[in-house]
């Protein structure tokens, strides 16, 4: 009989309370009523029961503030995962961020030619840069890499077959699989080889054996295994071999590169990854890649290749369905322009800078953070291993440094929750009863905000 939840006030009564009404001043009554119902439901479910009208008003005000807060917020990535998919993958270079801000302000020349005063082509903002940087005959940009792949396959093989190695029928992020994308594009899957060994002769045999209209092979697909490794007794046909086979048999070759690396990122551990310019130089009909992975730009699907095939993709009605918007094109164009000078790109593009930064520099930031915290905070500089992320360089980590936090009386998950609740949320890792903040993925410009957030969480 002493359980105060048995005497919870009704929603109508709380709405008539002057303090509660004042908490929702300036907001629609429906919004206030929704917050009041949520406050009562929280109390009924076992949460703290406010003692008076002021307590209810405070609870309602918190719920209203939570509902009004944006869910997409800037945060500090202290996980050590450079291309963290959940945190938006590649952060934009300053030049790209400025380009987005300018494009977002009012109208722009997205599809308008100032010289002629007539309608223009939105692709002109980026295709010349992609041709210049990769050496490809033509280029097309859509909204993401999966769209670029589906568009290329639909343009090449709708109603026909696509030959793929069994060792390349991979699953990409979000549970999407290459066979599913093939089916969605309207093409039929034709598997060749085995999981661990596929030779160019396997492709050639399949092409020679399917000459009837009902079972014709219309394209060859090669997929870069960017998110896992095959080792041991393995073999695969190279892209050059497949392009030559496709040339002889007059079958287009589509290459799913994925990561979009434009140049050598620097560290010895990260060498050997195929690049977008290198893939384009093979003469493949289409090479598709992501804009927001190793390229370091916005989410986008990049398609470069032979002029005739790219023109087919442009004419495909699906190109309209998956086209990129003005903000994406602005950010991508500004990012690509930085690659005209590789040294500038490595310095200005955050992903490349994080991957190439010497571990000693990261350690210096870790020491700076630890020294800025209260002496009793238990902060300790620790060696860590950072990851590339984004389905790139599987199994490879980079030497890094972080700060481990352990506060008496506060469990590590609770401390991590406090950090995520900061004005600028901080996302770290919980390991061995400690919160570890890896500094490789924290930019120097974010250090002051990080210090404030950690101090507040420890307090």
Tell me which residue of 398, 386, 388 sits closest to 438, measured CA to CA.
386
Task: List, in order, residues 6 or more apart from 181 with CB less than 8 Å away.
Answer: 146, 149, 150, 153
Radius of gyration of the chain (CA): 27
Structure tokens given for 211: 């000459």
pLDDT tens-digit map of 304-332: 999 999 999 999 999 999 999 999 999 99
Confidence of residue 215 (pLDDT cuts 50, 70, 90): low
Asked whether the predicted pLDDT for residue 93 surpasses 90, the reply is yes
Separation CA 267–CA 249 (nearest Å): 40
What pLDDT, on a 0 to 100 scale, did the predictor assign at position 144? Answer: 95
Range in 309-313, 364-368, 391-395 the model is least confident about: 391-395
Tell me which residue of 335, 320, 311 sits closest to 100, measured CA to CA.
335
What pLDDT, on a 0 to 100 scale, did the predictor assign at position 224? Answer: 92
195 three-state secondary structure: coil
Cα angle 348, 279, 260 (rounded to 5 degrees) comes to 35
Task: List, in order, residues 6 or more apart from 383 with CB less than 8 Å away.
Answer: 399, 400, 401
The residue assigned the tokens 């002021």 is 54
Ranges of beta strands (E only) in 275-413 are: 286-290, 301-305, 380-389, 397-405
The residue assigned the tokens 């500089």 is 381
Q: Are 242 and 168 in contact (CB under 8 A)?
A: no
What pLDDT, on a 0 to 100 scale, did the predictor assign at position 115? Answer: 93
Q: What DSSP element (H or E) covers 435?
A: strand 434-438
What pLDDT, on a 0 to 100 scale, did the predictor assign at position 391? Answer: 79
Give whole-number Cα distances, 179 to 145, 183, 216, 224, 377, in Å.
15, 6, 18, 15, 52
- What is the length of the chain? 459
The domain ranges of the chain are: 9-68, 76-85+352-458, 94-348
Half-sphere exposure in the Cβ direction for 42 (13 Å, CA): 15
Cα angle 158, 160, 164 (rounded to 5 degrees) comes to 100
What pLDDT, on a 0 to 100 scale, did the predictor assign at position 214? Answer: 46
Asked whether the predicted pLDDT for residue 212 surpasses 50, the reply is no
Arithmetic mean of pLDDT over the chain: 92
76-85+352-458 maps to which CATH number?
A: 3.90.1150.180
Cα angle 33, 37, 62 (rounded to 5 degrees) comes to 80
Confidence of residue 213 (pLDDT cuts 50, 70, 90): very low
Q: What DSSP element (H or E) covers 191?
A: strand 188-192
Tell me which residue of 350, 346, 342, 341 sits closest to 298, measured CA to CA.
350
Is residue 179 classed exposed, middle or buried when 0-12, 13-18 and 19+ CB atoms within 10 A define those classes?
A: middle
Tell me which residue of 283, 260, 277 sits closest to 89, measured CA to CA.
260
pLDDT tens-digit map of 255-298: 999 999 999 887 877 888 899 999 999 999 999 999 999 999 99
Range in 66-70, 123-127, 173-177, 455-459 the model is least confident about: 173-177
Other C-beta atoms closer than 10 Å to the C-beta of 363 total 18
Range in 37-46, 64-73, 207-216 the model is least confident about: 207-216
CATH architecture of 94-348: 3-Layer(aba) Sandwich (3.40)
């Amino acid at each position: 009989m002493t359980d105060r939840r048995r005497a919870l006030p009704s929603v109508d009564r709380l709405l008539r309370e002057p303090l509660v009404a004042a908490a929702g001043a300036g907001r629609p009554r429906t919004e206030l009523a929704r917050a009041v119902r949520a406050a009562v439901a929280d109390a009924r479910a076992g949460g703290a029961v406010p003692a008076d009208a002021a307590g209810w008003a405070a609870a309602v005000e918190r719920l209203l503030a939570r509902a009004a807060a944006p869910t997409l917020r800037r945060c500090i990535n202290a996980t050590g995962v450079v291309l963290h998919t959940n945190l938006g993958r590649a952060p934009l270079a300053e030049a790209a961020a400025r380009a987005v801000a300018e494009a977002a302000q009012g109208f722009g020349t997205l599809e308008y030619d100032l010289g002629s005063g007539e309608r223009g082509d939105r692709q002109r903002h980026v295709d010349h840069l992609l041709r210049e940087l990769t050496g490809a005959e033509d280029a097309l940009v859509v909204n993401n890499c999966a769209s670029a792949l589906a568009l290329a396959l639909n343009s090449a093989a709708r109603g026909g077959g696509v030959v793929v190695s069994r060792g390349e029928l991979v699953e990409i992020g979000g549970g999407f699989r290459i066979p599913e994308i093939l089916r969605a594009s309207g093409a039929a899957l034709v598997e060749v080889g085995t999981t661990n060994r596929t030779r160019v002769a396997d492709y050639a045999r399949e092409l020679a054996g399917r000459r009837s209209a009902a079972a014709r092979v219309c394209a060859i697909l090669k997929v870069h295994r960017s998110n896992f490794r095959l080792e041991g007794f393995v073999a695969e046909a190279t892209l050059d071999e497949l392009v030559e086979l496709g040339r002889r048999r007059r079958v287009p070759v589509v290459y799913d590169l994925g990561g979009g690396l434009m140049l050598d990122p620097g560290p010895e551990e990260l060498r050997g990854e195929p690049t977008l310019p290198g893939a384009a130089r093979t003469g493949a009909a289409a090479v598709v890649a992501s804009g927001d992975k190793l390229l370091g730009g916005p989410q986008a699907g990049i398609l470069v290749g032979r002029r005739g095939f790219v023109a087919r993709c442009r004419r495909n009605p699906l190109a309209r369905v998956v086209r990129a918007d003005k903000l994406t094109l602005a950010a991508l164009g500004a990012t690509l322009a930085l690659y005209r000078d590789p040294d500038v790109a490595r310095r200005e593009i955050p992903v490349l800078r994080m991957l190439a930064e010497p571990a000693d520099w990261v350690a210096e930031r870790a020491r700076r953070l630890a020294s800025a915290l209260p002496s009793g905070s238990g902060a300790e500089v620790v060696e860590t291993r950072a990851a590339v992320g984004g389905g790139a360089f599987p199994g490879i980590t980079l030497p890094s440094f972080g700060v481990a936090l352990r506060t008496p009386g506060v469990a590590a998950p609770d401390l991590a929750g406090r950090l995520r609740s900061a004005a600028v949320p901080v996302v770290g890792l919980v390991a061995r009863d400690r919160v570890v903040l890896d500094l490789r993925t924290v930019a120097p410009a974010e250090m002051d905000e990080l210090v404030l957030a950690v101090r507040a969480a420890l307090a």
